[in-house]
Each structure stands twice: as structure tokens, then as C-alpha cells.
Structure 1
Amino acid sequence: MQPNPTLAIVGSGPAGCYLAQTLRRSLPDAEITIFERLASPFGLVRYGVAPDHQGTKSIQAQFARLFERDNVRFAGNIDVGSVVTLDDLRATHHVVVLATGLARDRRVGVPGENLLGVFGAGQLTRTANSHPLEKPTLPPLGRTVAIIGGGNVSLDVVRFLIKTPGEFAGSDVNDVALEEYAAAPVTHIDLICRSSPEAAPFDPAMVAELGKTPGVQFTSLDHSTADGTTSVEAHPAALAALLPSTPGGTPRVRVRLHFNATTTRIIGMDHAVGVEVRRPDGQLQTIPAQSVITAVGFDCDPSDPLIGDRGASQETGYLAEGLYRTGWAKRGARGTIPENRHCAKAVAAEILEYLAAAALPAKPGYAGLPDAVHDRATDYAGWLRVDAAERAAAPGNRSRKKLPDHAWMVATARETVQK
């Protein structure tokens, strides 16, 4: 008789939670433990989704029900690779799945990228979301900012920079960072996109959302034309609707969208002072800026002990016997949160096929891990205490006030915090 499978999932974001949901439906008697380096679950949803997109974050309620089920354990405050090794997990579990995502801002790959004043969009988003391992305040950006990248993350950054503090009502934004930024906000943004207006990978709904922010003027510059101009009709509908938005009087913020502009270098000696772009005809143009934000995607640190040198694959989640990966750890930083569900179903099918064919030895699962893991781990009940504390601390116009550092979160989870 086969023993009940013991499964370890590393990462409690959407990829890990979707996979656990799928596996639990097919393996109701399996023991599933989801490991997370923080004391809070939900990963990207909690710390990577923009703080003013509470509708997207509401999926946390669905994932929360997962941890309320029998045989599903949350093991927070466990950094796999340091507190416990991957080999430890594989020795004690029949299946281990890496669902760690990709957190490092991808490099643009141009000279000047290491200058002072160059920041990654992921860093800024984590700060705005009060990530406990990120800096609590935003870096000084100056009045003029260039953003390199033409995807939805770049629009998240634009939206954060152009909103006034009052427009974050209902969010879980980091108010310390927001108030400091609002004291000297950006007044001019250049968004640099190498695509044409027609091919720009913006979500139309996110483009339309920008147009709802008062006091902002949007203009477009197409570097494939002789004079840089293009008719509004040449843009997709969402962009076309955005461009005529000219506020009465002097705009509070000006946003200029550059299309068909390829970044060739970031200009500066010690500190960034602008971005050089190449037009399709080969001519170069300088875009002045007091800071530069890169938003060209995410990748993993090659030195990461879990997925650093494994590469990405669209074909399979299989890495070795009993070892799999899912989500961005599998396919790279592409796709939306719901797409992780499709990925999870495919990887779950591979795992189920393996478990059905394998002669499984008895493995103790979570109980067989070293005592140091059990002593350090926080559980789901601990997360509920953190959740309650954050909601109770929230001012009337916020959904929550996140605990600002990791140690405080762990202490709250364990009920050892000083009240």
C-alpha cells in the first residue's frame, strides 16, 4: 500500500497557492506544506501588485481558504537554502516544487546602468507595498524621471508618481514612503518604449486608468517619424483616448510617451542625468532626467541556491526525480497572475503522473525536518494575528497598515510583540 504523499512547495505566492489548490483536489490525503521566507503568505499579490489595485489583491481571500483546509500547512519565516536546504526537503518529502517567482529587476544591458540615480521598478513597488526586507522609503527621484520599459509595470510606476496622496484612499500603500515622496513629487515623466504605439504591450484598462488622474497632461512622441509626431488615430483606442487629456491651466505633471525609441545608454558621470535613445533611422537623442527607473521585467540572481542556474522552460516543470517548478520560476517573468493557474494545472498533471507510477517509500514530510525549522517557523494562525494587527492599525482611508519589518512580523505572529 502506497503511503500518503508528502509535498513541499517553496513559495506562497500565486504560483505556489494555485498548485497547492490543484494538488489538494486530486490528493485529498496528501500532506502539503508551503514554505515562505516571510511571516506572511501570498508573495507577489501582497508585495508585487500595486497598492492601489486592491481588486487584484482580493484574490488573497481565495488563497486564504487553502490554508484553512486540513493537511495544508503554512511554514513562514523559513528561507529555503539557508534555514533548511533543498536536499533536506527532498529527503523528507516525496515531491518538492519551487514556486519562488523572480524578484530581481532585470537589467537593461546598457552602459550607465550602475550609476547613482538608477532604480528598478520592482524595488520601488516593494517599498510602496511595505515589503519588510526592502528600504522603507523611496530614493530621491528629483522632479524629472525617465522610465525605461513599455509594459504594465511601467504604468504602475507612472500611476504611483502622478497620483496625489488623497487618491490612494482604500489602498494599503506605505504612507511613510508616500508622504516623503509627496513632499517633492515628480513634475515630468518620460516613458521610453521601444515598441510602436500599435504594438505597445500596455493593458488598455491600465492606460485608461491613467487618464482618470486629474492635473496630468499626456503627450506622445513617435521616433519613427521625421518630426516625432503622430496622429492620435494612429494609436490604439486606449492610448488615443489618453492623449487629448489636457488639464485646465498648467498641468501638475507632464507625461511624455516615447515610441520606437531604443535605449542605448544611461548618461552621467557618477549620477544619472539622462537617457540616450536610438531612433529607427539610427539617429541618437538625449532625454534629460534626474533619475531613471528601469521596468523591463524580472529575472533571478544567478547565485540563487534554488533556481539560479536552472534557466526557464515552457515545456515542463520537471527538474529531477521528485523535484519540479511552477510559475515564473518555470517559465520566466511573463504572464499575469491568472496565468499561474494554467501553469499550476500543467505542473500538477506531471506530479500526479509521477506519483501514480512511482513506488513511494515512506517519508515523514514536515515532521522529519530538523528541530531548527520547527522552532523558527511561523504558522497560519500567526499570519492571522499579523493580518488582524495590520487591519486594526489602518487609518480610515486605508485597507491595512502593513507591519514594517520582518522581526516585528515574526514577533506579532508568535504573540511576543510588546503591546
Structure 2
Amino acid sequence: MNTSRVFGFKTMKTLLTNRSRATITSGLRRLACTPSSCPRVCIVGGGPAGFYTAQHLLKAHPAMQVDIYERLPIPFGLVRFGVAPDHPEVKNVINTFTQTAQHERCCFHGNVTVGKDVSVEELKQAYHAVVLSYGAEGNRLLGVPGENLSGVYSAKDFVGWYNGLPCNKDLCPDLSHETAVILGQGNVALDVARILLSPLDILTKTDITQPSLEALAASRVRRVLIVGRRGPLQVAFTIKELREMVNLAGTRPDMVPADFKGIAEVLKDLPRPRKRLTELMMKAVREAPSGEGSTSRQWGFRFLRSPVEVLPTPDLTQTAGIRLGINRLEGSGDGARAVATGETEDIECGMVISSIGYQSLPIDPAVPFDPHKAIIPNAVGRVLKTSGLYCSGWVKRGPTGVIATTMNDSFDTARVLIQDIETGILDISTAKPGSQTVTPLLQKRGVNPVSFSDWEKIDAEEMKRGSVVGKPREKLLDVTEMLKTVHS
């Protein structure tokens, strides 16, 4: 045996770095790639749904080429703009998304508005499949008189304001009144309440935007009421969010004990998660101090109430309060229905925040859209009445669930797409050019896409600015400034 040749080969193997192995593997794949084995897929939306869909596609098919198009110059969607700034652990998923974006068969194209800069039909011509994962950018309306008054805000816009979403940077919410009312009892409602009442020393250590921090420092809001149309057994928030409210420094609960009458008798029959959640609410009621307290801020739930009208100031321009209709429940458990009694109750407040849900919007006339459900009609992610078009995330199922829900949903869509390739439902027999034709088309229209490496320049600049003031980052709030950073 020629031991020198054997040991030489082993030595050569040990000298190969992970990068060189990946390069060789990539080269072999390109050599073996034929039009029928190299599908090109375009994903519209660079949030959790888009990245999870891309992640599964890349893992499931060894020759899949994926391009992600995002309206903003920056990726990650609601992970960046929806997760509360004092929940940094939830944002760790960005590390996974970054690995996907840096994959050799994946490209990120930011600063591209699909439906405006490039049509869905043009994308379908350039790719074997297009996956719509652009989320829910609209607000559900209250549908009551006075909702357009100054002092009424959607939770989506308010969250976007303190999280640095460029389109919300000029919101300037009026925080000059003592009482704020939040309509809705989901996790977002509790996020908003917590941010309104949090001590500044907590917020200054987060990536909350500086203008928001300054506004909250001057805020006169001392009492936040979180209103729901049903009862304590139907709240939509989780025990984690409730525990954070209960333990929030410098605050005390402001509850109505009568709202929990009869709840103790049904506790034993509740599913364990609902039981623990309800027990924590009841504990907060029992342990709430009876005195007002000169410095403490207050938060509390109001149940069986639905908005009837936002009450105006005498000049009919500002919010002075809200009229709530009093409900009764028909049925029990999650299926209980709120029925109006005809009675009303007025609450004086200077701010009303509607947290009754986000809503997807149509992206392109060529894409089917159900205006009633505010989703793209689909069957397990396949868009109805068209071929080569798929959807995932909120635009597929509606704005419900947490990030893990979106992950599972996106994986389902990716599996369906792969299945369609394998069964021939999705024709990949003809080569598609992908971004090779889309990018020149965008440049011709005056649109300069932002790559993931360009985003990393923005990322570095934000962290640099944050380090100066002792924060993890100071977000850039203006798209023009982001693009300037990219090209500096």
C-alpha cells in the first residue's frame, strides 16, 4: 500500500475549510444542474413567513434557488417591527433568518415594492413559482362614530411607532392625558399597555426608538384600561404576557371583582393553560391594593364591553372619552358569544388604541383576494384559480398565532410546493431567469434593490449608534437615511 498517498489525501481533507467544502459542493451542484432540476422560486415578503418558507424550500430541494423581495430596505418584518422592545429573546430568531439569507442559493432583494415596482405577473414570468408572504399591513376598523378623531390610534401603528417602522415615525401620539383605553385583549394589547406604563430605566436598555423614549418620558398616562367584548374566560392573551403586567414595577392592578363572580366554580373544569391564566387574573384581583397610591400607575381589564362611540371634545376634534356598550354572554368557553344588552357606560380618556387585529391588503390586481376574510383564497397554500402562485403566513390564514404558528404554516406551504414539483403539477421543465431579468427591469424603473450585505451595513450603523447611548441598537427611521447608509 502506498501510505504516502493515503496520508497525503487525509492531510488534504483536513486542510479543507467549511467554506471550501461548500464551494466545491456548490460547484458540483451547478455542473449537475439542468432546467428540470433547478427550480427558481420568488418569495414576496421578508418577514417570518417569507424566511421560514425559504428555509424549508432550501432544505428540501438540493438545487432550489430562492429570491426574497421585501418592500423595505431591511428584512425580518414583524420580528423587528412587531415584537415588543423589552422582549429581545423573541428576536433571536433573526439569527436563523440571517443564516437563510446568507445561504448560497438564496438572495435578498430589499427596497422593492411588488405590485408597484414589479408586477406579480412579471415575477411569474421570471420564476417557476411565486410565494406571497407579505403579511398584514392594514388595520381593522372599529366601525363606530368618532374613530377618526385625534387621539384614536390603531395598535399596529402605535407598535410601529415605538418599534421604528418608517411609515409610523411621525405618529406623535398624544400622551398628555391620564387615562388610555385599549380595545382588545390579546398579546398586542398587553404589549401596548406595558410600554405605556413601563419605568424608563427598563425601556432605555432596549431598542425602542429614541423619539418614542422621549415621548414616553414626558407621558402623563397613569391609567390604562384594557377592554374586551367577552369575559375573563375568553381573553386571548397568554399567561406570559399577563405575568409581565402583574409584575410590572411601579404599577398596580385596577380590577372589578364582580367581573369574576362565579369563575372560581368553573376553574376545575378548564383546560390547564386557561385555568392557570384565570387563576393569575383572580390573584391579581385579590391582591390589588385598595388605596389609590399617589405614585403608582394602574392597569386593569374591563370585560363584557364593546365600543359604541368615541366621544369628542366640545370642538369635535379631540378624543374626550369612549362610550362602551355592555354585553352579556351566550354560551360558554371559547365559543361564548357577546350579546348587547342596550346599556352603555362612558369612560373619560384622552387616548383610545384599537387592538382588534391586523388585516392583509390586496397586492396586485392579478392576485385573487377575499375582501371579507382579508386573505388570499388558497387550498393549503396553493392560490386558487391560478397556477404557480402560493401563499404563506398571515395573508394565507389571517393575522393569528405567534411566530411558531407562522413557522409551521410556512413549512406547510413549502412542502406543498415541493410536492407539486415532484408530481409535475408545477412545471419546471423550462429554465427561468429569476432575478437576472427582474433586477435590470427594476433598475430601468429607477429602483435599486438592497442586498443582504447592504442591510448588514445598516445593521452595523444601528448598533454603532446604539452603543453610544447604551442600547443594543438605535434604529434608522427613514428609508432615505437607510439607503444613504448603504451607499456611503
Instruction: Call closer, same or farther: CA 1:290–1:249 in 2, change over 3 Å.
Output: closer
Q: 1:366 is aligned with what amino acid?
A: S
Matched with 2:470 is 397
Matched with 2:60 is 26
Task: Select the residue among 241, 264, 283 that pairs with 2:308.
Answer: 264
Q: Is the 8 A contact 1:5 1:94 kept in 2?
A: yes
Distance in 2, matches of 1:296 and 1:113, equals 13
Q: Tell me the CA shift for residue 409 of structure 1.
A: 0.8
Q: Percent identical across equivalent pairs?
A: 29
Distance in 2, matches of 1:105 and 1:181, equals 24
SS at match of 1:263: strand
Q: Tell me the CA shift for residue 302 of structure 1.
A: 5.3
User: Which structure has the larger Rg over C-alpha atoms?
Assistant: 2
Matched with 1:286 is 346
Matched with 2:323 is 276
Distance in 2, matches of 1:307 and 1:259, equals 40
Distance in 2, matches of 1:233 and 1:410, equals 57
Deviations along 1:126-150, one digit per CA (max 9) or x if unpaired, are 1101112222453113221111111
Q: Tell me the CA shift for residue 315 of structure 1.
A: 4.2
Matched with 2:454 is 382
Q: Is the 8 A contact 1:4 1:29 kept in 2?
A: yes
Equivalent pairs counted in the alignment come to 411
- Map 1:6-405 to 2 at 5 A: 6-136=40-170, 138-141=172-175, 142-221=177-256, 230=261, 236-243=278-285, 244-246=287-289, 249-268=293-312, 269-279=316-326, 280=328, 281-301=341-361, 309-310=369-370, 311-312=374-375, 315-319=379-383, 320-356=386-422, 357=424, 358-360=426-428, 361-369=430-438, 371-374=440-443, 376-394=448-466, 395-405=468-478
Deviations along 1:297-352, one digit per CA (max 9) or x if unpaired, are 10034576586834435742111200011000100111111111111121112211
Distance in 2, matches of 1:248 and 1:143, equals 14
Distance in 1, matches of 2:193 and 2:366, equals 33
Q: Tell me the CA shift for residue 178 of structure 1.
A: 1.6
Moved more, 397-406 or 321-330: 397-406
Q: Tell me the CA shift for residue 169 of structure 1.
A: 4.2
SS at match of 1:156: helix
Moved more, 304-313 or 195-204: 304-313
Distance in 1, matches of 2:202 and 2:302, equals 26
Aligned Cα root-mean-square deviation (Å): 2.3
Distance in 1, matches of 2:172 and 2:150, equals 14
Q: Tell me the CA shift for residue 48 of structure 1.
A: 1.0
Deviations along 1:201-259, one digit per CA (max 9) or x if unpaired, are 1111111001222221212237xx5xx67489588122223332449942431223101
Instruction: Call closer, same or farther: CA 1:203–1:71 in 2, change over 3 Å.
Output: same
Instruction: Call closer, same or farther: CA 1:138–1:181 in 2, change over 3 Å.
Output: farther
Q: Is the 8 A contact 1:307 1:329 kept in 2?
A: no
Instruction: Call closer, same or farther: CA 1:204–1:81 in 2, change over 3 Å.
Output: same
Instruction: Call closer, same or farther: CA 1:233–1:250 in 2, change over 3 Å.
Output: farther
Q: 2:323 is aligned with what amino acid?
A: E
Distance in 2, matches of 1:303 and 1:86, equals 9
Moved more, 56-65 or 358-367: 358-367
Q: Tell me the CA shift for residue 408 of structure 1.
A: 1.0
SS at match of 1:376: coil
Moved more, 269-278 or 18-27: 269-278
SS at match of 2:432: coil
Matched with 2:22 is none
Q: Is the 8 A contact 1:124 1:138 kept in 2?
A: no
Q: Any gaps of 5 or more consecutive residues in structure 2?
A: 1-33, 266-276, 329-340
